[in-house]
Amino acid sequence: MTDLPPFLARRGFLIGGAAVGAGALLAGCTSNEQPQAQTPAGNVAAGQGDNAKPGKMVTIGFSAPAADHGWIAAITKNAKAQADKFKADVTLKATEGTNDPSQQIAQVETLINQKVDVLVILPMDGKQLTSVGQSAMDKGIPVINLDRIFDTALAYRLWIGGDNYRMGVNAGNYIAAELKKKNISKPVIGEVAGIDSLPLTQDRSRGFKDALVKAGFSVGPRVAAEFTVETGERQTANLLQAAPKLDALWNHDDDQGIGVMAAISAANRKEFIMVGGAGSKNMIDKIKADNDVIKATVLYSPSMSSSAIALARLLGQAKGMGDLAEHEIPASITTYSAVVTKENADQYADVAFDS
* Residue 40 placed within a domain: no
Residues 101 and 175 in one domain: no
pLDDT band at 11 (very low <50, low <70, confident <90, very high): very low
Residue 119 belongs to domain spanning: 50-161+303-324
Burial class of residue 174, CB neighbours in 10 A (0-12, 13-18, 19+): buried
* Residue 203 placed within a domain: yes
More confident residue, 301 or 34: 301
Q: Distance between CA atoms of 316 and 174, rounded to whole angstroms?
A: 41
- What is the structure's pLDDT at 51? 84
- What is the structure's pLDDT at 141? 98
Mean pLDDT of 163-187: 97
Count the domains in the chain: 2
Residues 128 and 241 in one domain: no
- What is the structure's pLDDT at 25? 28
Nearest to 151 by CA among 131, 124, 136: 131
Residues 154 and 196 in one domain: no
* Residue 332 placed within a domain: no
Residues 89 and 129 in one domain: yes
pLDDT band at 6 (very low <50, low <70, confident <90, very high): very low
Q: Please report which residue ranges of the chain form alpha helices under DSSP H.
A: 18-30, 70-85, 101-113, 126-138, 164-181, 199-214, 229-242, 254-267, 281-289, 304-316
Would you give the DSSP letter of residue 329? -
Mean pLDDT of 306-314: 97
Residues 192 and 141 in one domain: no
- What is the structure's pLDDT at 42? 66
Main-chain dihedrals φ then ψ at residue 193, nearest 5 degrees:
-85, 180
Judge whether 61 and 107 are in contact, CB under 8 Å. no
Q: Distance between CA atoms of 187 and 291, rounded to whole angstroms?
A: 22
Residues 289 and 307 in one domain: no
Nearest to 148 by CA among 302, 6, 310: 302
Residues 212 and 308 in one domain: no
pLDDT band at 37 (very low <50, low <70, confident <90, very high): very low
Residues 186 and 244 in one domain: yes
Q: Distance between CA atoms of 256 and 233, rounded to whole angstroms?
A: 8
Residues 168 and 294 in one domain: yes
* Residue 103 placed within a domain: yes
The pLDDT tens digits for 203-238 are 999 999 999 999 999 999 999 999 999 999 999 999
* Residue 145 placed within a domain: yes
Q: Which residues contact 200 (CB under 8 A, 6 or more apart)?
A: 148, 164, 194
Residues 154 and 168 in one domain: no
Q: Distance between CA atoms of 129 and 151, rounded to whole angstroms?
A: 9
CATH of the domain at 290: 3.40.50.2300
Statement: the pTM of the whole predicted model exceeds 0.85: no
Show which of 299, 314, 343 is a domain's final residue.
299
Residues 171 and 126 in one domain: no
- What is the structure's pLDDT at 198? 87
* Residue 27 placed within a domain: no
pLDDT exceeds 90 at position 277: yes
Instruction: Give buried/exposed letters for 49-62 (b at 16+ CB in 10 A, else e).
Output: eebeeebeebbbbb
pLDDT band at 68 (very low <50, low <70, confident <90, very high): confident
Residues 188 and 281 in one domain: yes
